[in-house]
Structure 1
Amino acid sequence: MSAPIGYSPDDPLDTADLEILADLARISAMLDPVPEGLVERSLFAITLAGLEAEVMELEYVRVPEMSVRGEAPPVEARTITFTSEAVTVMISLSPTEDGKVRIDGWAAPAAELRVVLHRPGGVSETLSDEDGRFVFDEVEPGPASFVVQPAASSHGAVSTPVIEL
């Protein structure tokens, strides 16, 4: 196919070009729409990649799916362990009554650590105690990743893979 006479790729877009592009955008949106949340998840992944932290290895720990204590209703919990050369982090995810998630975590070797929870909607941060224990209360379910580093340093950060809370 040859270009129309008098056409140059350097020419500015005219009305016909804009109409064709608008039709292509409409057809594309109709046939293959952008999945909901894709932009937020992409920005989240890019933010994590920019941290240049060592990524920890994910290990699922099998625990009973339901547990009952006395007259209390069943409680569902999930335990996940992340390992790296420098630190091991275990988290326990427990649903709250309002549909959110409580995150209890422990780091070894025990030390005061800065623990940053990255979510598509923002970042939360806490410090572990001297035993390596930390908690995030009332976290919305969804994708998340943790970055752990010594409290007194901006070096030595490690990051977990993205998990679903």
Structure 2
Amino acid sequence: MMSIRDHSPLSDEDLFSRLRRLWRQRDPMPAGLVDDVLVALATRDLGVEYAMLTMLESSGAAVGVRGVSDVQLLEFARGTRSIMLRVSDLGDGRRRVDGWIAPAAALSVRLEQDDDDFTTAASAEGRFDFPDIPAGRTRMWLQPERGPGAAAARQGFTTDYFTV
């Protein structure tokens, strides 16, 4: 058997085969790694699924069925930050969005819809609203207020897309 020390030319296939053997002997794959990776891949979008379940549950209506309620309650959470939204139907394809941030913080709130952006500021109590926006696909962003009093520890937050 040839060795690398013989300075004999090795094909790429032979070299990779030897490296593979070396690493299998010296640093074998941990038991359960494949299963752990499969579980991580299967659960990576649980936040999106949870948001959808929360939206459907809080609307009080079955999917695809028109209910008598004109109010939706939505909640998004990441880490220690969460946003609760109350979306009211104003008629004519317009919506009112009232929101609360927990833990409460004075943050800049941006609501993005296709080509439109709406911005407002949350109070120190975490309260904000968008009194009149069009219905449609929406995404929300929280960002620290700019200025001398802004706390550096606050982190931005972005929701997944949802429909109002």
- 1:100 and 2:94 matched: yes
Q: Distance in 2 between matches of 1:134 and 1:103?
A: 8
Aligned length: 104
Which structure has the larger Rg over C-alpha atoms? Answer: 2
Q: Distance in 2 between matches of 1:126 and 1:149?
A: 11
Q: Distance in 2 between matches of 1:146 and 1:161?
A: 8
Q: 1:64 to 1:57 in 2, by over 3 A?
A: closer
Q: Distance in 2 between matches of 1:138 and 1:101?
A: 6
* Structure ranking higher on relative contact order (CA contacts 8 Å, 6+ apart): 1
Q: Distance in 2 between matches of 1:128 and 1:77?
A: 21
Match of residue 107 from structure 2: 113
Matches within 5 A, 1:147-158: 147-152=141-146, 156-158=155-157
Contact residue 57 and residue 160 of structure 1 kept, 8 A: no
2:47 to 46, 49, 57: 57
Instruction: Report percent identity of matched pairs.
Output: 24
Q: For 2:58, what is the secondary structure of its paired residue?
A: coil
Structure 2: runs of 5 or more not aligned: 1-45, 62-67
Q: 1:123 to 1:64 in 2, by over 3 A?
A: closer
Structure 1: runs of 5 or more not aligned: 1-55, 67-73
TM norm structure 2: 0.56
- 1:87 and 2:81 matched: yes
Letter of the 2:58 partner, please give it: V
Letter of the 1:146 partner, please give it: M
